[in-house]
């Protein structure tokens, strides 16, 4: 990936997406988790010079929204309009720099869904039939035998722990079964799904249960809030088919296929593991039916948990984004903590103790103190000016950590990338202690090298805390962050002009 950047940045396009969230309530820390990771990835590749298009939004159709609006006594349209605004507000506070916020109730999207479904119908991928089964409204999903739990002799949703509803109705099916071998091939041979064990999980499910045709229509008598099925007005389209297609609407499908192709080739889709099946078995098949390749990368992360249970509205154990912002007084600290704890493989338990120690250890004592120490030293011993004179030996140590961090960023391992950036700061603190620049009459080399190390670590933090890092760089005389890898070279800056000694992070109350 690094090489591609060097070859010519005008060629590099990237498409980053988050799931579109159900706006039945305000977003919680679980939604922020995926959205912050996606934003950091977007900002990282933009920093390298990629042309990144970042899509997020809200999934506004289906029974879940219809029922929630009924409960609150407002029309569904009014409700989703209001809630989409709430999501945008949160993302603004958290500095989420999306390129487009898509809503599935937009006319453009409705047209795309009708177009795509008509195409599937014309090609014979859809046929009428009857469906019987147990349905979870919270998941908007039918559960087959063996997939649900039994409590009091009644099927219960394994995710939401609530009773399933028995539904028997006429519907239309999508011939997913036709694409079974193709999906298996993509999962087995491709390196689309990361981490890989998630694709193995889907593979073994398909191998043991097959890939069943999917019911994709809901009678309006039961679900009225949805996009009408183009060839039978008694039905609306299943919310998941509607929702998945948002990723194509976001790029201008089908009107601007050049643009779709340009970005889709290098698409990076982030999801939580709860919606893995939809984004592999169903999504890959749906794309194939429309003659489109699967995404380039599907990044799947595990859950934020509270007492071992997935955090979620249905379980009533959500940690609020507001509480976290209030605690640290800076939304960018929330971004840092989330990026620092992020884990694709394992669930992460929410813990204020861990969060506090990240804040105090990494930001206040490590980063903040080093910046203060270095700037004070520059002002006291060099009148605020340090000129290029790199200590080659120490620069090598920093270089190695920097390369590791960049490589991890390029493979989407954000928390690992942060760890190496923090190591740069640790090493630099130790280097100052060893060199004691205040004791020598010629401290320029040490101080210049220290400022370079701070600059490199700051660049590595830039996608996570753009405003805070921008302020820190400013205080050492650097006005703007450039694009491309060249700026990551040690010795890149001619001269530092330190104006002030900032206090970027304050002690916790």
Of 26, 88, 160, 273, the catalytic one is 160
Say whether 12 is catalytic. no
Of 61, 310, 402, 420, the catalytic one is 310
Assess contact for 367 and 330: CB atoms under 8 A: no
Q: Residue 292 or 481: which CB sits closer to ligand ME8?
A: 292
Say whether 160 is catalytic. yes
Q: Residue 351 or 440: which CB sits closer to ligand ME8?
A: 351
d(CA 320, CA 318) in angstroms, rounded, equals 6
Least Å distance between CB 114 and ligand ME8?
17
Segment interacting with ligand ME8 (CB under 6 A) among 168-176, 270-278, 355-363, 453-461: 270-278
Binding test (CB under 6 A) with ligand ME8, winner from 303, 367, 448, 505: 303
d(CA 235, CA 214) in angstroms, rounded, equals 15
Say whether 313 is catalytic. yes
Name beta bridge partners: 32: none
DSSP labels, 329-362 = S-HHHHHHHHHHH--SSS-EE--HHHHHHHIIII
SS3 content of the chain, % helix, strand, coil (to 5): 50, 15, 30
311 binds ligand ME8 (CB under 6 A): yes
Q: Give the closest residue to 410 by CA, choosing from 56, 54, 96, 50.
A: 50
Q: Residue 109 or 455: which CB sits closer to ligand ME8?
A: 109
Angle between helices 76-93 and 321-328 (to 10 degrees): 20
Q: Residue 299: in which H helix or E strand, if any?
A: strand 297-301
Binding test (CB under 6 A) with ligand ME8, winner from 147, 170, 213, 274: 274
For the CA atoms of 371, 374, 375, 376, what is the dihedral angle to 10 degrees?
Answer: 120
Q: Residue 90 or 394: which CB sits closer to ligand ME8?
A: 90
Least Å distance between CB 95 and ligand ME8?
18
Q: In 3-state terms, what secondary structure has residue 450?
A: helix
Segment interacting with ligand ME8 (CB under 6 A) among 29-37, 186-194, 328-336, 477-485: 29-37
Name beta bridge partners: 236: 218, 228
Q: Residue 22 or 44: which CB sits closer to ligand ME8?
A: 22
Q: Residue 22 or 328: which CB sits closer to ligand ME8?
A: 22
Of 61, 114, 139, 402, the catalytic one is 139
The total of other beta-carbon atoms located within 10 Å of residue 499's CB is 13
Q: Give the pairing of strands 51-58 and 13-21.
A: parallel
Residues 115-144 that bind ligand ME8 (CB under 6 A): none
Segment interacting with ligand ME8 (CB under 6 A) among 16-24, 90-98, 179-187, 393-401: 16-24
The edge-to-edge listing of strands for the beta sheet with 214-215 is 141-143, 126-136, 165-174, 214-215
Least Å distance between CB 339 and ligand ME8?
14
Question: Which x/- pattern over 227-266 shows residues binding ligand ME8 (rule: CB under 6 A)?
Answer: ----------------xx-x--------------------
Q: Give the closest residue to 488 by CA, choosing from 407, 410, 403.
A: 403
Site size for ligand ME8, by CB under 6 A?
Answer: 21
Binding test (CB under 6 A) with ligand ME8, winner from 5, 13, 15, 22: 22
Least Å distance between CB 190 and ligand ME8?
20
286 binds ligand ME8 (CB under 6 A): no
Residues composing the chain: 509
Residues 44-83 that bind ligand ME8 (CB under 6 A): 59
Of 109, 141, 157, 402, the catalytic one is 157
20 binds ligand ME8 (CB under 6 A): yes
Q: Residue 338 or 370: which CB sits closer to ligand ME8?
A: 338
Name beta bridge partners: 270: 299
Q: Residue 250 or 437: which CB sits closer to ligand ME8?
A: 250
Say whether 31 is catalytic. yes
Q: Spell out a b/e string for 387-396, using b for 16 or more CB atoms within 10 Å of the CB, else e.
A: eeeebeebbe
Q: Cα-flanking dihedrals φ and ψ of residue 396, to 5°? A: -65, -45
SS (H, E, C) 43-67: HHHHHHCCEEEEEEEECCCCHHHHH
Binding test (CB under 6 A) with ligand ME8, winner from 136, 187, 251, 275: 275
Q: Residue 34 or 458: which CB sits closer to ligand ME8?
A: 34
478: tokens are 């650097």
Q: Residue 9 or 315: which CB sits closer to ligand ME8?
A: 315
d(CA 90, CA 332) in angstroms, rounded, equals 13
425 binds ligand ME8 (CB under 6 A): no
Assess contact for 453 and 427: CB atoms under 8 A: yes
Least Å distance between CB 288 and ligand ME8?
17
Binding test (CB under 6 A) with ligand ME8, winner from 13, 33, 87, 143: 33
d(CA 469, CA 460) in angstroms, rounded, equals 10
Segment interacting with ligand ME8 (CB under 6 A) among 70-78, 111-119, 188-196, 268-276: 268-276
87 binds ligand ME8 (CB under 6 A): no
Site residues for ligand ME8 per CB under 6 A: 19-22, 30-31, 33-34, 59, 243-244, 246, 271-272, 274-275, 303-304, 310-312
- Residues noted as catalytic: 28, 31, 136, 139, 157, 160, 310, 313
């Amino acid at each position: 990936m690094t090489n591609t950047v060097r070859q010519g940045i005008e060629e590099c396009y990237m498409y980053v997406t988050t799931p579109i969230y159900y706006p039945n309530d305000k977003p919680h820390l679980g939604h922020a988790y995926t959205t912050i990771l996606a934003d950091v990835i977007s900002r990282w590749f933009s920093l390298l010079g990629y042309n990144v298009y970042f899509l997020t939004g809200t999934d506004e159709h289906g029974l879940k929204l219809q029922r929630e609006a009924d409960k609150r006594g407002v029309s569904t349209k009014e409700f989703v309009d209001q809630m989409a605004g709430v999501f945008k507000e949160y993302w603004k506070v958290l500095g989420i720099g999306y390129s487009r916020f898509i809503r599935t109730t937009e006319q453009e999207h409705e047209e795309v869904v009708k177009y795509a479904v008509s195409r599937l119908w014309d090609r014979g991928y859809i046929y009428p039939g009857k469906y019987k089964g147990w349905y979870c409204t919270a998941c908007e999903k039918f559960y087959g035998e063996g997939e649900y739990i039994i409590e009091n002799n009644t099927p219960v949703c394994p995710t939401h722990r609530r009773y399933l509803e028995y539904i028997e109705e006429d519907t239309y099916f999508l011939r997913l079964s036709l694409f079974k071998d193709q999906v298996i091939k993509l999962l087995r041979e491709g390196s689309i799904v990361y981490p890989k064990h998630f694709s193995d999980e889907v593979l073994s499910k398909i191998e043991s249960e097959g890939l069943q045709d999917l019911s994709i229509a809901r009678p309006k008598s039961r679900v009225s809030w949805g996009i009408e099925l183009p060839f039978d007005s008694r039905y609306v389209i299943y919310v998941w088919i509607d929702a998945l297609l948002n990723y194509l609407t976001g790029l201008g499908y089908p009107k601007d296929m050049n643009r779709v192709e340009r970005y889709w080739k290098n698409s990076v889709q982030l999801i939580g593991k709860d919606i893995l099946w939809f984004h592999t078995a169903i999504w890959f098949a749906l794309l194939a039916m429309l003659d489109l390749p699967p995404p380039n990368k599907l990044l799947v992360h595990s859950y934020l948990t509270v007492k071992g249970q997935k955090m979620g509205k249905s379980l009533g154990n959500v940690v609020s984004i507001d509480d976290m912002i209030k605690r640290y007084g800076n939304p960018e600290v929330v971004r840092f903590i989330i990026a620092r704890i992020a884990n694709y493989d394992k669930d992460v338990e929410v813990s204020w103790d861990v969060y506090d120690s990240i804040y105090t250890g990494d930001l206040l004592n490590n980063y903040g103190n080093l910046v203060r120490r270095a700037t004070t030293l520059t002002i006291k011993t060099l009148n605020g000016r340090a000129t290029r004179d790199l200590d080659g030996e120490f620069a090598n140590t920093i270089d190695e950590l920097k390369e590791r961090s960049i490589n991890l960023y390029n493979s989407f391992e954000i928390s690992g990338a942060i760890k190496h950036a923090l190591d740069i700061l640790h090493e630099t603190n130790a280097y100052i202690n060893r060199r004691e620049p205040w004791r020598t009459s010629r401290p320029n080399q040490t101080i210049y090298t220290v400022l370079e190390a701070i600059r490199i670590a700051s660049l590595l933090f830039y996608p996570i805390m753009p405003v805070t890092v921008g302020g820190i760089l400013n205080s050492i005389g650097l006005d703007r962050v450039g694009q491309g890898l060249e700026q990551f070279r040690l010795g890149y800056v001619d001269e530092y002009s330190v104006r002030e000694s900032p206090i970027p992070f304050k002690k916790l109350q």
